Amino acid sequence: MNALRERLWGVAAYFRGNTKLLSGMSLILALVLFWLIGFLVVSPARSAPLAGLPSQLPSWQYPLGTDTHGRDLLAVIMMGTGFTLRIGFVAGAIGLGLGTILGFLSGYYGGLLDTVIKWTGDVLLTIPILAVLVVVAAMLAGTMSLNFMTLLVASLSWMLPTRAIRAQVLSMREQAYVQVARLSGMNHLEVIVKELMPNLLPYLAASFVVTSAGAVLALIGLEFLGLGPQDIPTLGMTIYWATSYAAILRGMWWWWAPPAVIIAVLFVGLFLVSAGLDEIVNPKLKRRGI
């Protein structure tokens, strides 16, 4: 019990010293809590269109007002925050998972497998990802589901993690402790899991944040063009409907500003978490005060 308590105090002390990581995680946690409160308290019916009700200014009944279809925008944004976080983090996890597997296979085993994976990733990186997403989403217009969009974004999020992880593995596999592990009788899988993976965990965490941010950016780009699921109130689709109904020209700031603020907070949080994790991977950044 004392050892566990000392370890927890050590983790808490580290977070106090890494203000970027603490601030970023606080912002992300605030968004998650915002969504959970909406999920537990706000009825999903309040985010559904209500025919015959005009848009209303923010009031005690509707803190963020309603849109042209009479939807309670607070309920819409609470639900949309959850949907956006879900798609971004799930797509980021899938993309990073594929990138990790391919990066380790390419960097550790080398040879023809390394050539094929590296060549495939480099070729795909030259193709504008958003353009590919737009073409696929346009072909499936009207039938795009939330799960399919997640898989679509994830399928094009593995190239950068693969390249970065491959470079790290190429450097680490020549280290002395890896050679000692091989001579001690460990097979390749044991060397990867027991020796290489633990040393890459902070780097993988930072890669997950970057991949998730890219997935959210691709998601919002698709939705802003109206190519997302039409019946799901994600943050990007909320902004799309606001622009479609000229909310800015009509002075309906309560329709487009809150989702834009939530998106900005999300990206600031992800950036701070990534910067904080970079200090773990590269302590020189912390000493220089970068």
- Under a CB-based contact definition with an 8 Å cutoff, are residues 149 and 229 in contact? yes
CB 31 within 8 A of CB 270: no
Residue pair 219/134 in contact by the 8 Å Cβ criterion:
no
pLDDT digits (tens, 9 = 90+) for 230-262: 778 888 888 888 888 888 888 888 888 999 999
Give the Cβ contact number of residue 129 at 10 Å: 18
Give 205's contacts (C-beta < 8 A, 6+ positions apart).
Answer: 277
Q: At what angle do helices 253-281 and 73-104 cross, to 10 degrees?
A: 30
Residue pair 74/63 in contact (Cβ under 8 Å)? The answer is: yes
Q: Where are the domains of the chain?
A: 92-232
Provide the β-strand partners of residue 72: 66
* pLDDT confidence of residue 28: 93
pLDDT, tens digit, 9 for 90 and up, residues 38-78 = 878 776 656 666 555 667 778 888 888 888 877 888 888 98
pLDDT < 50 regions, the chain: 4, 8, 289
Q: Which residue has the tokens 């027991």?
A: 194
Name, in order, each residue with C-beta under 8 angstroms of 254's C-beta and a sequence gap of 6 or more: 57, 58, 64, 65, 73
Q: CA distances (Å), 103 to each of 95, 196, 278, in order?
A: 12, 12, 19
Element (H, E) at 236: helix 235-244
CA terminus-to-terminus distance, the chain: 37
Contact 35, 86 (CB under 8 A): no
At 129, which amino acid appears?
I
From residue 38, how far is each of 14, 179, 192 by CA, in Å?
Answer: 32, 53, 42
156: which DSSP letter? T
Determine the pLDDT at residue 4.
Answer: 47
